[in-house]
Amino acid sequence: IKHPIQKMEKKLQLQSGYWDKEDKIEVRSRIHQIIADLNQPLRKEELKYRMLIEEDISDLLDLEKEWFSFGDSSDAYKNALAGKRVFSITCEWTPPGNAKGYPIGSIIIYKASDPENLVYCSPQRKVIKNPSLLEKVINYAHNYRKEFATVYTIGVIDEARRLGVGTALLEKAEEFTIAKWPEAIAMSLQAIADDAKLTHFYEKNGYTCLYEMPNYYHISGKAKAGNYFLKSLGKKCADVQRQTGKS
C-alpha cells in the first residue's frame, strides 16, 4: 500500500505520543519517500537489529524530529559510539533486491547508578502507584549497590508499526544490558501518563508503573504528567551469570 508523503502528516500527528494533537508535524526523513517509491508494505523478514553505526545517525536524527517535540539525541548517539555508559540498537530495513539498508527504528539505553527520579524526586512531585514495589526496589538497590539501565528514547518509523519493532527493540536492549552490564537489576523508562496506548505497550512488555510525575513533560507549551515504569531483570541476569560464571 503506497503512503504518499503529503498524507503522512496527519497520521504521524495521531500516532506520536510526544506531540500535541494541534501541532503540525513536518515529514523530514528521506526514508518515507524510499518506502513510498517501493509501493508495498514493509515485511518482518526485511528487518534486522544491530548496534548503532555512525552512518545511522543522520537518518535517525531526521526521524527523531518527527517522533519527538523536544531536543535531539546527537550527544547520546556520539556517546554510544564511544561506549560511554550508553548504547543504542538500530532496526535496519533492507528493501527487496537492495544491498543497502536504512535505519527505521532505534532505542538508546544509558546506565544509571540510581534510576532517574526514583529516590531524589520530591514526594510532592510523585503520585505513587505501587508503593510496596517502589520500597523494595529502593532498598535492594541501596543495600546491594546495584545499578539500573534507563531507556532514553525509543522510536519506530510510522510505516513499520504493527510489525513488532518496538517490542523487539526493548527485548534486544534488555538482552544487551544483561550481557554488558550484569550488575543492572532493572530497566526503567518514562512515558506520557495520558497516552493509554503507550501505557498498554509498556505493560504488555513487562513494565510496571511505579508512580506518576505531575508536570514532568512540557510539550508545545503545555505541561503533561509522566509515568515512571520499571522492569526487573533479576531472573534474566541470574541466568546469564550462571552461563558466564559471573557473580
Q: What is the structure's pLDDT at 125?
A: 61
Q: What is the structure's pLDDT at 52?
A: 97
Rounded Cα distance between 145 and 142, Å, is 5
194 three-class SS: coil
Kind plus residue range of the DSSP H or E element containing 25:
none
Rounded Cα distance between 241 and 247, Å, is 6
pLDDT, tens digit, 9 for 90 and up, residues 20-52:
545 555 667 899 999 999 999 999 999 999 999
Q: What is the structure's pLDDT at 237?
A: 47
| Beta carbons within 8 Å of 241's beta carbon, 6+ residues apart | 182, 247
Chunked into runs of 10 residues, the chain (247 residues) has average pLDDT values of 37 41 64 91 96 96 85 90 93 93 96 59 64 73 71 94 95 93 86 92 93 82 87 63 46
Chain CA centroid to CA 131, Å: 25
Q: What is the structure's pLDDT at 81?
A: 95
Q: What is the structure's pLDDT at 129?
A: 80
From the list 123, 121, 176, 115, the residue with the least C-alpha distance to 141 is 115
Does this model's pTM top 0.85? My answer is no
Phi, psi (5° rounding) for residue 214? -60, 140
Q: Are strands 184-192 and 147-156 parallel, antiparallel or unpaired?
A: parallel
39 three-class SS: coil
| Beta carbons within 8 Å of 202's beta carbon, 6+ residues apart | 189, 191, 209, 229
- DSSP assignments along 106-148, one per residue: EEEEEEESS-TTTTTS-GGG-EES-HHHHHHHHHHHHHHT-EE
Q: How big is the CA angle at 174 (ends 107 and 113), to the nearest 5 degrees? A: 90
Rounded Cα distance between 159 and 102, Å, is 13
C-alpha cell at position 65: 524530529
CB atoms within 10 A of CB 26: 9
Side chain identity at 127, as an amino acid letter? Answer: V
pLDDT, tens digit, 9 for 90 and up, residues 86-99:
999 999 999 998 98
